[in-house]
Structure 1
C-alpha cells in the first residue's frame, strides 16, 4: 500500500517513544537521523535558526544521508535577525541546495512595518506577544502547511538547566514527534564536528555569541556564563515559547 500523509501519521502515532529513547540514548546524531529518514519518509521537517547545532543537523541530512526526498528546512524570518544570520542562510541554501521554507508574519515585510503595526520595541513592552507574532504562529503555520509528522530541533541538554532532561524523541501538543538528535551531545562535540567537516557557520559565534537570536534581544556572553545567557537578557525568560 502506498502511504499517504494520513496513513503515515497513524504509523508514527503507534511508535513507542520510550523504547526509541532507550535505543538511541547513546547514539550518534547521524544514527538517529538515519532512522528517522527511513521510518518517517513523509512529513519529516527540520526547524533551523542556523546556529552551529542546526547546521550540524543540516550537514548530516544533506551531505551524509541525502534522502530521496530532501528534508524541508523551516526558517522563521522574524525581520529582526542579524545581517550575518541572513547571509549565512543564503550561503547554506546555496551550498547544500536546501529545500528552504521561510515563514514570517503575514503581510509585514520590514521592521518599520512591524513597528507601525505593533509599536516600537515590542520585545521590551510585551516579549510574549513579540514571540507569538514572530516565531510561534509562523512555525505552527509552517508545520501545518507541510503536513508535518515529525520535526527536528537543534537543542542540547547542556545548553540550559531547562533542557537537562530533554528526551531525544518527544511528542508536541499537536501530537507530532519532536526529534532532538543532539540531545546527548555537547557544545564541544558540535564544534568538533563543524571543524572536521569544514562547515560554514555564523561569524558572530567568534564574537562572543554562542547562541544567536534576534538582534535587539541578543547580547554577547561573558566567560563563565550559560551559553544562552545572552538571549532575552534581563527578562527572566529561558525559552522563546516554541519549545514550551
Structure 2
C-alpha cells in the first residue's frame, strides 16, 4: 500500500496551514533576496516545501546533501525534481579526500561501532557540506515538524541558528496527514522508500522501515538511545555529554564543491 493511501487525510485547518506556510516563505524570499536556501533532505516534508517554492515561483534556492551513502531511490529523486520543476538543485558532497581517509581509518560503516564514530561520519558527510551550502546565506528553510519526535516538539516557525542566520520551519504545525494530503492534492513527486514504511529517510546504513505504532524517527539510528538521534543539522549548542552533536556550522567554511 502506498504512503498516500496510508496517510493522506484532509484535516480541519489544512488550507489555513498551507496559506501560513506559503506566506512565511514569500516573506522570507522578500526579506533575504538571493541569500536564502531550502536545505532539503528530499523527504516528504521537504518535497512539499520544494513544491510550494516552485509552484509560486519564489526566489529561494534549493540545496541538498549527497552524502555518498544515500539510497539509490533518494539520489534519483534529485533528477526527478529538476525535470518536474525545471530548476537546478545545488548538490553538496563531502570532501573526497576526507572521506577516503575516514573510511581507511574506520571502515565503510563506522556508525555501528560507536556513537562518536557515527557523529564523526555525520559531521564529514552532512555537516561540513551544509556549512558550504549556507555560506553567504542569511536564511535557510527546513522541513522540521513538531510531530516528528519529542525532541522537535517545540519547533518554532522561525528561529536563528548558531551563526545568527534565520532558520525557517514553515511546516512546524503540520501533521503527517497534512504532508501526504498536500502531496496527493498536487501530485508531488516523493521518495518511493516512503511506500516501504520509511517515514524518515537518511543515509542507507542508518535507515530502516518502522513497525506500526513506532515513532516517526525510530527507523533512524535505531541502535542508539533516543537522546542521541540527531546528526547535528538541527542541534544548537548541544554537547557530546548531552547526547547532541557538535555543530560544524561554527567551523571555517571551505570552498564549495
Q: What interval of TM-score do these two structures reach, taking the shorter chain for normalisation?
A: 0.7 to 0.9
Kept in 1, the 8 Å contact 2:71–2:204? The answer is: yes
Instruction: State the match for 2:192 in structure 1.
Output: 203
Q: Counterpart of 1:80?
A: 69
CA contact (8 A) 1:37 1:44 kept: yes
Give the 3 Å change call, closer, same or farther, for CA 86–25 of structure 1 in structure 2. closer
TM normalised by structure 1 equals 0.82
Q: Tell me by how many angstroms 1:122 deviates.
A: 1.7
How many angstroms does 1:114 deviate by?
Answer: 5.9
Task: Determine the structure 1 residue equivalent to 2:31.
Answer: 39
- Structure-2 separation of matches of 1:172 and 1:135: 16
Contact 1:43/1:148 (8 A) holds in 2:
yes
Contact 2:38–2:63 (CA under 8 A) maintained in structure 1: yes
Secondary structure of the residue aligned to 1:234 is: coil
Moved more, 178-187 or 122-131: 122-131
Q: CA deviation at 1:168?
A: 0.6
Cα distance change on mapping 1:242 and 1:44 into 2, 3 Å:
same
Q: TM-score, normalised by structure 2?
A: 0.78
- Counterparts of 1:76 and 1:158, CA distance in 2: 24
Runs of 4+ in 1 over 3 A off after TM superposition: 24-27, 111-114
The 8 Å contact of residues 42 and 77 in structure 2, kept in 1 or not, is answered as yes
Question: Which of these residues, 93, 97, 122, is aligned with residue 86 of structure 2?
Answer: 97
1:120 lines up with 2:112 in the alignment: no
For these two proteins, the number of residue pairs brought into alignment is: 215
CA RMSD of aligned residues (A): 2.1
Equivalent pair of 2:37/2:61 in contact (CA under 8 Å): yes
Give yes or no for contact 2:78–2:89 (8 Å, CA) kept in 1: no
Structure 1 unaligned segments of length 5 or more: list them: 1-23
- The DSSP-based 3-state class of the residue aligned with 1:47 is strand
**1:130 and 2:121 matched:** yes
Q: Aligned partners of 2:216, 2:172: CA distance in 1, in Å?
A: 15
CA distance in structure 2 between the partners assigned to 1:26 and 1:216 by the alignment: 34
User: Where does residue 241 of structure 1 map in the other structure?
Assistant: 232
Deviation at 1:96, TM superposition (A): 1.2
Residue-by-residue CA offset, 1:7-43 (whole Å, 9 max, x unaligned): xxxxxxxxxxxxxxxxx99962112111112222220
- 1:177-196 alignment to 2 at 5 Å? 177-196=166-185
Q: 1:215 is matched with which residue: 204, 207, 215?
A: 204
